[in-house]
Amino acid sequence: MEIKVVQDAKSIESDILVVSMFEGEKTASDLANKYAIEEDNFKGKFGETYLLPTYGKEVYRKVLVLGLGRKEEFNPDKIREAAAKAIKKAMQMEAKKVAFALDGIEFDYSEQFTLGVFIADYAFDKYKSEKKDNKVQEVFVQANADIVNKAAKIAEAMRFARNIANEPAQFATPAELAAIACDLGLDTKIYNREECEKMGMGAFLAVAKGSIQEPKFIHMKYQVDNPKKRIAIIGKGITFDSGGLDIKPPSSMLTMKDDMSAAACILGVMSIIREFHPQVEVHGLIAACENMPGGGAYKPGDILTAKNGKTIEVDNTDAEGRLTLADALCYACELGVDEVIDLATLTGACMVALGTQASGIMGNDDEFVKKLTDTAARSGERFWPLPMWDEYFDSLKSDIAYMKNSVSRSGGASTA
Catalytic positions are 248, 322
Helices (H), 277-365: 321-333, 348-354
Kindly list the distances between the CA atom of residue 165 and the CA atoms of 162, 171, 183, 187, in Å, as whole numbers in the listed order: 5, 11, 17, 23
Phi, psi of 190 (to 5 degrees): -110, 120
Whole-number Å distance between alpha carbons of 318 and 256 = 12
Q: What letter does residue 215 receive in the DSSP assignment?
A: P
Cα 42 to Cα 8: distance, rounded to the nearest angstrom: 25
| 205 vs 79: CA distance, rounded Å | 45
Orientation angle between helical segments 261-276 and 145-166, nearest 10 degrees = 150
CA angle, corner 377, sides to 371 and 381, nearest 5?
115
DSSP reduced 3-state for 301: coil
